[in-house]
Structures are given as structure tokens and as C-alpha cells.
């Protein structure tokens, strides 16, 4: 059940957008499709919605073969990056649109719309036009509109991509809570790894038209299947022969059995975080190593730019990938 994708291929002219995609997305979960721009994740989402057709392969939604079905008959809710609001209709009318198309009785439509507007905290805006709303409010309206038709799956294409950082963070938390309430199978596309890690139950990393890895956020972060996944999910640096996350490096001013040693050649402070670059005195690995530690840690260690330091992986650092 959920969504079953089998052998999907899609080309745009010579450009291979998707290559042999096999994927099952379980019912009731919040799944993120994560990957760099142009990697094919939006195309996959649009194929699931029926807004784009695949060159080959099949799509099953909740046990029904949807491969040949037009978007109108798939009963999916779709939320676009740029809201796609019906500009000439009030918020209320926007949300009611799908229900009116289905010729539901007026009283029922009214009741359902009121419920949904309450769910997305837009009750007091029901008679406004979309142009009178902020970006975050518009996206919530779009979400209510998509949920109105009681879709079997909810698809969101970079839903928070057009919003500013603070609103994005708020909406992200809010989407998570909403999903815990509504429990509809949800797939959302994002290129923001933090967003994906924070919100989703499971993650699908897509790059250059292929699936790189599928798993829970913890799986992917701790046990990345490839260098690509490792580097896409967060910052990485090379310490000796291994790739490691910069905050998983132990740094001291005293000589001990270390993987590398060298001088601190760069010091950047960003809020509570201190980002260092240590240039190793190892001729085999001369590239600077990135180290991230907190301000308090740096103070406790009495570190300063230009100091000689010794580096080694911290105990419990699993995200190391041999090369």
C-alpha cells in the first residue's frame, strides 16, 4: 500500500531526469525526497501526481494502478512552491474549490471549509483574497485546499522554498504537527537537508535521476551509503584517510596519539559556533581540516588562531566513511 513506483524512467530530450526508479512509500508516513536541484525529485513527485507522464514504469497509489490516470482522477493533493493560489477567489472559495467540483452539498462544503481553515489557523482570513495574505499564510491556504478533497496522498513540491528562513522553520514544525493529526500519506520534496531531517519519518535521497539511499533520518545521517549522501546531509571534512563530520573531531593543544596535527590557520565565529581550519603538517594529507566546536568548548581548551593542535575522531563518531 502507500505509493508503489516500479521501473520509472523519464527523459526530457537528451536529458535523463529519472532512471529506473523503484520505490515504495509506506502509508501514513511523511517521506522526504531530498536531493540537489535538477536531480529529478520534483519530476518524480509530478509523475506521482499525474502532472507529468513517465516514459516507462508504473505508479500505484493505495493499491490502485494510477499509471494511465490523469491528474484529475488520482485524488492527490498537490502543494506548489509558489502557492498556485486562485487569485480571484477568496481564501474560503479557494479551499472550497475541490469540493464544489465534486458537487458536494453546500452545507457540507461550508462545514468542511470552516474545519480546514481552523486547522491551518486562517479562520479570520476566510474572506480575504490571496494577495492580502503573507507567503506563509498563502501556503497554509494551499495546504488546506489540497487537504479539502481528502486526498489519498498529499504531495508537496518544495513547499517552504519561497518563504523566508524564520517562517520556513515555523511552517516546518507546524507541518510535522499537522501530519501527526491528519495522518495522510505525505511526500515532500526539498533540497534543504535540515528540513528533511527534522520533519520526515523516512528519507529518499535522489541525485542525477537515481535513488542514492532510502532510510530513516538517523540511518542516513549515521550510516550513509555513499560519499554523496554523507556530504549532502551535512558538512564533511577529510581527516587522514577518512571523511568525517567537522563536529566529530576531537581537538587539543597537547600532544597525544592523534590522526593529524597542525596549526589553526582560520578562525570563524558564527554565533555560538566556532569554525576552524587546521592545516596539517602531514605531507600526505596537506588539505586543511575543518573543525566545528562551540564557543564554550573553545574557551575551555584555551584555543587561539595560530596555535598548534592535535586532531582525532571523537569517540562514537560513526559517520566516517573510508575512501
Partner 1 sequence: MTVDTPLAPGAARKRRARSTTSLTRSSGLGLGIALTWFSLLVLIPLSLVVIQSIDGGWQTFRETLTNPQTAAALRLTVTQALIVTAINVVMGTVIAWVLVRDSFPGKRLLEVVIDIPFALPTIVAGLVLLSLYGPDSPLGVNVANTERSVFLALLFVTLPFVVRTVQPVLMELDRDVEEAAASLGASRFTTLRRIILPSLAPAITAGAALSFARGISEYGSLVLLSGNLPLKTEVASVRILTYIENGNEAAAASVATILLLVALAAIVLLQILSKWVARRG
Report residue 114: phi and psi, to 5°.
-60, -40
85 makes contact with partner 1 (CB under 8 A): yes
CB 232 within 8 A of CB 36: yes
247 touching partner 1, by CB under 8 A? no
Maximum Cα interatomic distance, the chain, rounded to a whole number of Å: 78
The backbone torsions φ and ψ at residue 84, rounded to the nearest 5 degrees and listed phi first, read 50, 45
The total of other beta-carbon atoms located within 10 Å of residue 302's CB is: 8
| 228 lies in the binding site for partner 1 (CB under 8 A) | no
- The minimum distance between CB 211 and partner 1, in angstroms, equals 24
String of contacts with partner 1 for each residue 168-187, x by CB under 8 A: --xx-xx-------------
User: Nearest 5°: phi and psi at 18?
Assistant: -140, 140
Q: How far apart are CA 75 and CA 63, in angstroms?
A: 13
3-state secondary structure (DSSP) of residue 120:
coil
Least distance from C-beta 174 to partner 1, angstroms? Answer: 5
By the rule CB under 8 A, 160 interacts with partner 1 = no
Interface region with partner 1, contact rule CB under 8 A, candidates 22-30, 82-90, 227-235, 307-315: 82-90
| 51 forms part of the interface with partner 1 (CB under 8 A) | yes
Tell me whether residue 179 is exposed, middle or buried, using C-beta atoms within 10 angstroms of its C-beta: 0 to 12, 13 to 18, 19 or more.
buried
Among 10, 41, 74, 245, binds partner 1 (CB under 8 A): 74
Contacting partner 1 within 89-128 (CB under 8 A):
89, 97-98, 101-102, 121, 124-125
Which residues would be at the binding site for partner 1 (CB under 8 A)? Answer: 49-51, 70-78, 80, 82-89, 97-98, 101-102, 121, 124-125, 134, 137, 142, 145-146, 148-149, 170-171, 173-174
Amino acid at each position: 500500500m502507500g505509493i508503489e513506483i516500479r521501473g520509472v524512467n523519464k527523459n526530457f530530450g537528451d536529458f535523463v531526469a529519472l532512471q529506473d526508479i523503484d520505490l515504495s512509500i509506506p502509508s501514513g508516513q511523511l517521506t522526504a525526497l531530498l536531493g540537489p536541484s535538477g536531480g529529478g525529485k520534483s519530476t518524480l513527485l509530478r509523475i506521482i501526481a499525474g502532472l507529468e507522464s513517465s516514459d516507462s514504469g508504473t505508479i500505484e497509489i493505495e493499491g490502485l494502478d494510477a499509471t494511465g490516470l490523469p491528474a484529475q482522477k488520482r485524488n492527490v493533493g498537490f502543494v506548489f512552491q509558489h502557492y498556485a493560489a486562485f487569485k480571484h477567489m477568496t481564501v474560503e472559495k479557494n479551499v472550497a474549490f475541490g469540493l464544489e467540483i465534486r458537487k458536494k452539498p453546500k452545507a457540507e462544503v461550508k462545514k468542511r471549509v470552516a474545519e480546514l481553515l481552523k486547522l491551518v489557523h486562517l479562520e479570520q482570513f476566510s474572506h480575504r483574497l490571496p494577495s492580502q495574505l503573507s507567503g506563509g499564510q498563502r501556503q497554509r491556504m494551499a495546504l488546506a485546499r489540497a487537504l479539502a478533497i481528502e486526498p489519498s496522498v498529499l504531495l508537496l513540491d518544495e513547499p517552504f522554498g519561497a518563504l523566508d528562513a524564520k517562517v520556513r522553520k515555523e511552517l516546518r514544525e507546524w507541518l510535522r504537527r499537522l501530519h501527526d493529526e491528519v495522518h495522510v500519506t505525505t511526500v515532500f520534496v526539498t533540497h534543504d537537508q535540515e528540513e528533511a531531517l527534522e520533519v520526515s519519518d523516512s528519507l529518499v535521497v535522489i541525485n542525477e535521476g537515481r535513488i542514492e539511499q532510502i532510510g530513516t533520518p538517523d540511518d542516513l545521517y549515521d550510516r550513509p551509503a555513499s560519499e554523496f549522501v554523507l556530504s549532502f546531509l551535512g558538512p564533511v571534512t577529510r581527516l587522514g584517510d577518512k571523511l568525517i563530520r567537522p563536529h566529530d573531531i576531537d581537538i587539543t593543544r597537547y600532544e597525544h596519539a592523534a590522526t593529524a596535527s597542525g596549526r589553526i590557520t582560520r578562525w570563524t565565529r558564527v554565533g555560538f559556533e566556532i569554525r576552524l581550519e587546521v592545516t596539517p603538517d602531514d605531507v600526505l594529507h596537506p588539505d586543511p581540516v575543518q573543525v566545528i566546536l562551540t564557543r564554550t568548548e573553545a574557551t575551555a581548551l584555551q584555543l587561539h588562531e595560530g596555535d598548534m593542535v592535535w586532531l582525532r575522531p571523537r569517540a562514537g563518531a560513526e559517520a566516517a566513511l573510508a575512501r
